[in-house]
Structure formats: C-alpha cells, structure tokens
A and B are shown apart, each in its own frame.
Chain A
Amino acid sequence: MNGYLIALRAIVLREAMRFLNQRSRFLAALVRPLVWLVVFAAGFRAALGLSIIPPYQTYITYEVYIVPGLCGMIQLFNGMQSSLSLVYDQEMGSMRLLLTSRLPRSWLLFCKLLAGVAVSILQVYVFLAIAALFGITLPPMGYLYLFPALILTGLMLGALGLLISSTIKQLENFAGVMNFVIFPMFFMSTALYPLWKMAESSPFLRDLCALNPFTHAVELIRFALYEQFNGAALLWVLACFAVFMACSIIGYDPARGLMKRKRG
C-alpha cells in the first residue's frame, strides 16, 4: 500500500474510533433529526400542505417530505462538527502533526474530510433505519442510490466545514458558525418546505434559497432516495465542493492562506 493510502486508512480509522468513543455525539446526531421528524413534522403536517412535485408522483405526508432534508441536516451538522474538532485540534496542537507531515497537506486534509463523510453516512443510514421503524419507508433501491449522493453532499458540506475551520481563530468563535452558517443554510433551503411554498411569501427569499448550496444537496438526496437523478443539483454540489475545497486548501496553505493571518 502506498503512503497516501496508508495515511487515508489511518485517518479514517482514527475518526471512526473517535466518533464511536463519543457516544453522546452519536446520540445527539440521531436525536436532532428524529425530534424534527417525530415532533416538528407531526405538529406542522396540517399547516404545511404539499402539492405533487418531482420526484414525488403522488401526494406525500409532511414526514416523508422532510426526510431528505433531515439526511442533509445530519451531514450539515456533521460537517460543522468536523470543523469544530479541527479548530479544537488546532488549539490543542494535534493539527500540527498533520500539517508538518511529509505527505501533501491537501491530501491529508482531504483524508480528514473523507473520514468525516464516512461517519456522516453511517449516521444517515442509522437515522433512516429508525425512521423506517416509525413507518417512513422509501423505495428499496433508493437506499442504494442514496449512497453516492451522500458521498457527494457529505464532501461538499465537509469542505465547507474545512473552509470555516481555516478562518476561525478560537474555539469560542464557533458559536457564530451556528448562527451565521448552519441555521441560515438549513432554514433557507428545501429541507423543510419546497421552493414554490417559499415563493408564495417572498420571491426574493425563494431566489436566495435557490442559491443556497444546501438546497441542492437536499434535492440531490431527495431525488436519489426516489431512484431519480437531478443533474442540476449534482452540478451545483460538485461546483460548490470544488470551490470550498480549493478555498480550504488555500486557507491551510501557510504561504497564502488564513493560517498566517490567524497567527498574526
């Protein structure tokens, strides 16, 4: 096995071990979407009527509608959690081990990203299994098609987390990420309501939602769950991933990036 794959395997196993050791993190990652699914959706199902929109071919309940958004939510929070642990690693010093390795920094950051994606995919499938216990089932092949979609959306959201971690000076500043990144991204997307619903109240908000990368991540997941392909969402996700990843690599580059400014 060459050095690149050795490092990849070690980082993925390390993240998996860290995740499994933090049972509370695992539970929190599941409880959050389940509360939305069981409590929020139950309360709003009457208020939020839905018409038939692709990929659905019939009327669906609100619980069914928000499942893809909650899958995205798991990955969004996981991406930010990874970002938080990167900032923590920077403060504690262990990030320096990665940054001073003789392997390319961009590769090691990508390994970190992949490790986070692997953990988020595990969380999504556990969530879907629990959702099935509540009677929310999806087309059988949808669970399979979901897998590559989750890799792509996980990479995009993880790269966003990576980018954020390269700009944050201290762990205390991370609360701002919750307010200025996670909540706006989640609420201004199709996770909880379709775009046409948003347009009814504000066309401007609808346009903002349409520009939100998380909207396209959710739509890619939604279509994959129903065995369909959404090319526009795929392009958005790939493009955003490329931009976020490139900016992250620049951010962690000591010659050009934000690491330099963070120290100053």
Chain B
Amino acid sequence: MSTLRLEHISYRYGAKTALDNVSFVLEQGRFCALLGLNGAGKSTLFSLLTRLLVTREGTIHVAGHDLAREPRAALGKIGVVFQQQTLELDLSVMQNLRYFAALQGLSGRNAQRSIDAALDRLGMRDRSGEKARALNGGHRRRMEIARALIHDPQVLLLDEATVGLDTAARQAITAHVHDLADNGLLVFWATHLVDEIRATDDVVVLHEGRVLAHDDAATLAGDGSLLDAFIRMTGPAPEGVTA
C-alpha cells in the first residue's frame, strides 16, 4: 500500500509558481531522497505535506488519509524534522520529548514507553537529563528525530536535516534514518547533498517546481555517478550540490 501519494500538486506564491503538477507515490519501508537545488520547491513541498501551507490544486494522501479532508488523521501519521531547529533549549532532552508528546495528546506510560524507545533507537538514553542547549548540533538533530517518532508515525519527513553539521554527524544521522527505513518507516529526506543517498534509495528529483525524475538512485545514475546524472537533468554548475 502507498504510504505517501501526491497527485497533481501545484502551488504558487502570488505570480511565482513554486510547485507545478507534482505527482509521485512512495511506499512504506523505503528511504526516498527529495533531491533539488536551493529554490527547487523542496521546502514548499514539505510545508504542504505538514499542512503549514495548503493548496486546492491536487491531493495528498498519507497512509490512506486525505490531508485536506482528514488533516488530523493524516498529520498523526507524519513525523517531521524541520530544517530550522525547533527545540526548547531551556528544557532537558526528556522534558522536550514529554512536551512534544503532550502536544500530540500523549502522556503517561504509553508516552514514556515511546520516548524511551525513541531515545534508545538514537542512542541518547544516557543524555536525557541534559539541557537541549548543552547538546551539539548532531545530538540536537538526533533528539529532533527521536521527538518526531514519539507518536509512532508511518512517514518521517526531514527537511535538509544535516545542514550545518560536520561530516561525522551527517554520516551518523543518515545511517540512523536509513536504519529507520529498514525497519518499516517511510523516510522522505529533502537534501541537496548527493552523498547522503545510497544506491538502493529512491530519488525524486525536483527542479524549478517540477519532478524531473523518480527512480532508485542506481538506475538514475546509470553508468556514471548520481551527481553527474543530476547535473545532466538540472543544467550546468549546480551551486551547493556536492558529491
């Protein structure tokens, strides 16, 4: 069954078209990279998926729920890590997670069980008493991922989640989210960094608001590299895209 289905999505900021007739289907248990240059429409697409923006052009289904008609049910199936960090820095790791659980309407033993499981998955159980402010960038990101999983979503959205992190932290986080996909979650990962994508991952190439390609990374790369294939599709010298 498709976990995330977008059909003919378009969005405009005034006269400027940000997304133009975007359609694709993503399956459970997959890691899918949304690859695009800055300004390609990735953040707009994420805002539509999280209902920070809405459009009347096209439909989005999350785990079978129409986001426009059943927003609560659909949002309940989504965990989000935004590009911008959204932690309460004066709260501890555990307090942050409990606060978020409460915003989702969760408390008590079930919430605590989910929090503990999320912390274990990301190896942060021993740091749960530390203030978020005291964590480095990589651990803050891990904590945000742990937080996004508390309500047991089926889809994890990450918008440029490794921006500003060093190489080791980036690798650790991409490895974590790949593991999450292997364990049955649909991970939808917006990025402009090609090296975060593995050969078996799905890739949606977004350029100037349009989907240029949707296939697994190995097929898109063909005999060359994914970066070369991406450059062929989007034009010369894509600034900010690295191998």
A interface vs B, CB < 8 Å?
1-4, 6-7, 9-11, 14, 18, 21, 92-94, 96-104, 108, 254-255, 259-260, 263-264
Q: How far is the CA of A100 from the CA of B144 in the complex (A)?
A: 14
A103: chain B residues at CB < 8 Å are: 72, 103-105
Contact partner, A3, options B50, B52, B85, B106, Cβ 8 Å = B106
B80 is an interface residue with CB less than 8 A from chain A: yes
Most chain B C-beta atoms within 10 Å of own C-beta, residue among A10, A14, A18: A10
Contact A108–B14 (Cβ < 8 Å): no
Output the least CB separation between A75 and chain B (Å).
25
1/0 contact trace for B42-78 toward A, CB 8 Å?
Answer: 0000010011111000000000000000001101101
B76: chain A residues at CB < 8 Å are: 102
A98 (CB) vs chain B CBs: closest residue: B103
Contact partner, B80, options A9, A92, A100, A255, Cβ 8 Å = A100
B101-119 contacts to A, CB under 8 A, are 102-107
B82: chain A residues at CB < 8 Å are: 93, 96
B84 is an interface residue with CB less than 8 A from chain A: yes
Q: How far is the CA of A96 from the CA of B80 in the complex (A)?
A: 10
B136 is an interface residue with CB less than 8 A from chain A: no
A255: chain B residues at CB < 8 Å are: 54
Q: How far is the CA of A150 from the CA of B113 in the complex (A)?
A: 40
Contact A254–B105 (Cβ < 8 Å): no
Contact A100–B50 (Cβ < 8 Å): yes
1/0 contact trace for B8-25 toward A, CB 8 Å?
Answer: 000001100000000000
Contact B85–A100 (Cβ < 8 Å): no
Contact A254–B52 (Cβ < 8 Å): yes
B167 is an interface residue with CB less than 8 A from chain A: no
B242 is an interface residue with CB less than 8 A from chain A: no
Q: How far is the CA of A156 from the CA of B82 in the complex (A)?
A: 33
The 7 closest A-B pairs by CB, nearest first: A3-B105, A10-B102, A93-B84, A102-B76, A264-B13, A93-B86, A255-B54
A92: chain B residues at CB < 8 Å are: 84, 86
With contact pairs A96-B50, A96-B82, A254-B52 given, residues A104 and B72 touching in the complex (Cβ less than 8 Å):
yes
Number of interface residues of B (CB under 8 A): 31
B228 is an interface residue with CB less than 8 A from chain A: no
Most chain B C-beta atoms within 10 Å of own C-beta, residue among A4, A10, A100: A100
Q: How far is the CA of A14 from the CA of B102 in the complex (A)?
A: 11
1/0 contact trace for B126-161 toward A, CB 8 Å?
Answer: 000000000000000000000000010000000000
Contact partner, B107, options A1, A18, A21, A98, Cβ 8 Å = A1
A6: chain B residues at CB < 8 Å are: 102, 105-107
Contact B105–A100 (Cβ < 8 Å): no
B50: chain A residues at CB < 8 Å are: 96, 99-100
Q: How far is the CA of A10 from the CA of B86 in the complex (A)?
A: 17
Q: Can you list 15 A-B contacts (CB < 8 A)?
A: A7-B103, A96-B52, A96-B82, A96-B84, A97-B103, A99-B52, A100-B78, A102-B72, A102-B76, A103-B72, A103-B105, A254-B51, A254-B53, A263-B13, A263-B53
1/0 contact trace for B186-212 toward A, CB 8 Å?
Answer: 000000000000000000000000000
A8 (CB) vs chain B CBs: closest residue: B102
B86: chain A residues at CB < 8 Å are: 92-94, 96-97
Output the least CB separation between B63 and chain A (Å).
12
Contact B88–A259 (Cβ < 8 Å): no
Contact A97–B52 (Cβ < 8 Å): no
Q: How far is the CA of A62 from the CA of B113 in the complex (A)?
A: 59
Q: How far is the CA of A94 from the CA of B147 in the complex (A)?
A: 13
Contact A101–B75 (Cβ < 8 Å): yes
A1: chain B residues at CB < 8 Å are: 107
Give 13 A-B pairs besides A100-B78, A102-B75, A102-B76 with Cβ atoms closer than 8 angstroms. Answer: A2-B105, A4-B105, A6-B105, A93-B85, A96-B50, A96-B52, A96-B84, A97-B86, A99-B50, A99-B51, A100-B50, A101-B105, A103-B104
Q: How far is the CA of A4 from the CA of B103 in the complex (A)?
A: 9
B31 is an interface residue with CB less than 8 A from chain A: no
With contact pairs A93-B86, A254-B53 given, residues A101 and B103 touching in the complex (Cβ less than 8 Å):
yes
Q: How far is the CA of A102 from the CA of B62 in the complex (A)?
A: 13
B88 (CB) vs chain A CBs: closest residue: A94
Contact partner, A254, options B13, B54, B85, B100, Cβ 8 Å = B54
